[in-house]
A and B are shown apart, each in its own frame.
Chain A
Amino acid sequence: MDHSSLRRVVPLTLALGLVFAAGPARADGECLDKPNPLIGVGGSASKPLLGKIAPQLLALDEPVTLIYQAPGACFGITTYVDGTRATGTASYWDADGTEQTCNFPVTGVDADFGMLGVQGTLCEGVDAIPDGIGEWTGPITSWSLIVPGDSSQTSISAEAVYFIYGFGAALGQVAPWTVDAELYSRNATSAALIAIALAAGVPPTKFKGTDVGSNQMMISSLAQSTNPEAAIGFVSTEVADQNRDSVRTLAFQATDQTCAYWPDTTATAFDKQNVRDGHYSLWSPYRFYAPVDGGGKFTNPVTEKFVGYFTGAEPLPAELPLLDIVIDNGNIPECAMQVWRDDEIGPLYSRQPDAPCGCYYEFRATGETSCAECTDTCDAGGTCRHGFCEVI
């Protein structure tokens, strides 16, 4: 199905309008009336990052209004597969970063880009990325199995997740997570669910638990649990990190791993060392999807710039310190990764980025690094990047 034909699928659009109508009922005007609107669709995990980028895009010489609807990660690709257009309300952010909502036309709009935390082909009904749609990778997000702050639990294994979410809490018999009402989950359009299901060997469509609908609702469901010891759920780690006052990430022990690790060196750190060096295996690069022409070139120049900022294809304007924004949000730029994988939650291998930024990442994320500072060159060897001596 080509992209232009997708624009004609109005009845399905209307039928799914309520599904897409995420967010407050009162909306501030029409989305398409905003200056230079750039419309994205995908998962709720992306919202904190996009919310930090949006004000910077508004500050550009040619301001761009980033508009995002988060009905579920897989909608970031299925919109280009089944022709579902975005209707209802969406989020945008004003110049000071405050989230607002606006309305899409009742006939719907085509998304300029989709953004999700797993490969689009892992979504149900997506056998292949459609012709006319390009795929690019962005920063890394990790996934957290979380418990309420009042829980005494600190770790979990892939095998335990298999029983808890594959059988259900009561049938799975993994104490203390044996209460079905305290088993919080998402549906199979969630990137977090897909990634964790892959790690545990459970088909995403067979994942048990109550679908709470979004990362943000997962946090509030666990925070308000009346039985915190039995409660468990999952979100993207950056969302968990931003809510450490109410939830805690469990250390995760992958299949074939002898010890469970947190994303960070300790439960209270913010260095993501274990994601970056392969000890914490629940991570994925964000994927962007967008329409391209027969030559693989973006059909929308605004989308091209936006995605290009992430891939490095587009020079970053001074108003957009994207590396800092990514790190500050709790994501990991690819240049700070020491391992990589070719398949989602697949086998890891060591990889040196072409232009590593691990030293700067550590400094920015934690306020300290053992790397030498530099201005232009590194006398003891290495390459000066972002003010620190990297290995190459």
Chain B
Amino acid sequence: MNRIIRKLFSNTTSLIGLILLFIFVIIAIFAPYIAPPLFASDPYQIPRMSWDVQPQPPGFPISDDIRLIYDSLGQPIIRETAIFGTAQGGYDIFYGLIWGTRTAFRIGIITVTLSMFIGVVGGSIAAYFGGWIDELLMRITDIFLSIPFLVAAMVLTTILGRGLDKVMIALVAFGWMGYARVIRGSILCVKEEVYINAARALGVKDFNIIVRHLLPNTIFPVMVQASMNIGSMVITAAALSFLGVGAPLGYADWGQMVSFARNWIVGSPGNAGEYWYAVFFPAIFIVLFVLAWNLVGDTLRDILDPRLRGEL
């Protein structure tokens, strides 16, 4: 374990990834200070800077209409200008991205943890008990694998209705199969080891054999996969939001920010890059976030892959 941490910090690529992750963690933790919410009870609602349909460029000052509303509510105005500009509908891009970092972590970590849990439980039961249990569980896995991920997630989200929790349910429901397969493969291999029989010969319960003896020997490839999947889960969630089946309108979510930019990717005639900020800022957050996880995941894989051991 110490070796892994040392390697992660001594390797340049993973160091970049770790630094990026660290920055995102800081942003997520200090979101209330970086972008103080209007109402503490509902910080994920992106405040509007104006009622404009068109995006407005960085540095755009808060409009008089909105100023009036603040005044009538007796709320102080914290941000006079939109640092990254506003998206379609006058939503503050900066605010959306800062609070969206929390959403991204939440989506990534919750979906990956849950799907890893389901996959690991299913895969290890299938591998350990074998026979018809294995057959049944793995055929179910195959059925789930045969459905295209994005389509399945979209359909399920549409059925369940709009909302981030629904997106996460859909992502978990169709995201656990990879883990099940990986853990099954490793356990099938380790199960034949003498020490597993030795543990059985000592009278250790099946549950404890799986949890204490098999999983510590087999969980690492799954964790590598999980760390890389956090990025792709966030992308998929963003894609669902972009397609309009994700977070509710105005919710701080990177996918939502990108989806706001959908009609403004190409600017007005003769000025194609007019609304660049509407696309650029949300996109760069997503790219860096996914990149960070992939860099860390890649290095983890290199460290844990015995064939590559010693070459780092």
Whether chains A and B associate is no
> CB within 8 Å of A: which residues of B?
none
Which A residues have a C-beta under 8 Å from some C-beta of B?
A: none
